[in-house]
Amino acid sequence: MTTLFDSYSLAGLALPNRVVMAPMTRARAAAGGLATPSMATYYAQRATAGLIVTEGVQPSLIGQSNPGTPGLHDDAQATSWRQVTGAVHANGGRIFAQLMHAGRVSHPDTSGAWPVGPSAVPATGYVFTPGGPQPAPVPRPLDTAEVPEHARSYALAARRAVDAGFDGVELHGANGYLISQFLSSNANLRTDRYGGSVPGRIRFAVEAVSAAVEAVGAARTGIRLSPGTTLWGVAEADVAALYSALLAELARLEPAYVHLEATADEDVLVGLRRAWPGTLIVNPAFPGAPKQADRTGADRWLGLGADLISFGRGFIANPDLVERLRTGLPIAPADHATYYQGGDAGYLTYASYQHTA
């Protein structure tokens, strides 16, 4: 029987266990989207994970969602990440950069540019800006000729990531951001080749993954998806058909993995497991879920066919989460108020479990 603590070969990358640290926004980057020494310490503290996937990293300035997030769209940013990858590797870890283009989930006060999207449909709710939350603006719809440029932005960032020492990249295709917006049936109202039918709605995702694969190789490329998500107001018609078609196209590219959030009914996700011939990572507790992922949920999804299990919130307050899961030690709670406040408090101040005599 497969366990969380069995080793795994991920497209030739040897993982000592099947625990993945999921990407989580922490908003600790320096001005200019630079990675910092504190970020290097944070990720190195969690290097016992089989694989770390970083917080979302914008592949272009227009793709930035929140203040304080890091980038990989210029040379200074790439150089700043070397301290992070070097620290993780020195501690025996493996790390992928998540490439996150926000699309319409942005604001000109954050990025300095008007946000873009598949159509002129705003996200639901308020977006974070340097001056506080503001209503999501109506995005500028991309012209057909512009769309490939945004697909290529993932490839350009992927090259910088590999040059900076990352073991690979994960394209953020989930949670209502740009790839997810193109997949959506209410954020994407296009009538050109990037909209309408299922083949049109999946086209941008396939082109983005294809560009990254061409840039850095299939073994260094993964994608995260959230079938049926409603985050930021997206909706998806025909979820099973949409994602089955997407996985069929992605399978031709042979990426290192698909990372699914458990945002759809279990039977839909199990069907996608059967349809996907490659490595599957499952996150049992998607963003906004009332309960964070635990050993019970992880074991269940391993039994349902997942190869790797990702944990998000559990890693915030538990840098030694793998050992706590292995030995049944208590999982420490995190202080939600410090998730995005900046600084080292609630970031580097969580310790490994302290055994008492």
Active-site residue set: 177
Integer Cα distance of 70 and 49 in angstroms:
22
- Helices and strands, counts by H and E, the chain: 11, 14
- Whether the CB-CB separation of 22 and 283 falls below 8 Å is answered with yes
Amino acid at the residue 87:
A
- Tokens representing 304 are 């349902």
Phi first, then psi: what are they for 176, rounded to 5°? 85, 10
- Whether the CB-CB separation of 262 and 284 falls below 8 Å is answered with yes
Residue (of 149, 128, 143) closest to 66 by Cα position? 128
**Running DSSP on this structure, what letter comes out for residue 230?**
-
**Count of alpha carbons within 13 angstroms of residue 353, beta-carbon side:** 17
Phi first, then psi: what are they for 257, rounded to 5°? -165, 165
**Running DSSP on this structure, what letter comes out for residue 82?**
H
Integer Cα distance of 207 and 30 in angstroms:
31
CA distances from 173 to 81, 91, 204, 208, 261 (A): 22, 29, 10, 10, 11
Any residues with CB less than 8 A from the CB of 217 and at least 6 apart, and which? none
Integer Cα distance of 304 and 266 in angstroms:
10
Residue (of 138, 260, 128, 279) closest to 218 by Cα position? 279
Integer Cα distance of 214 and 209 in angstroms:
9
The end-to-end CA distance of the chain, in Å, is 34
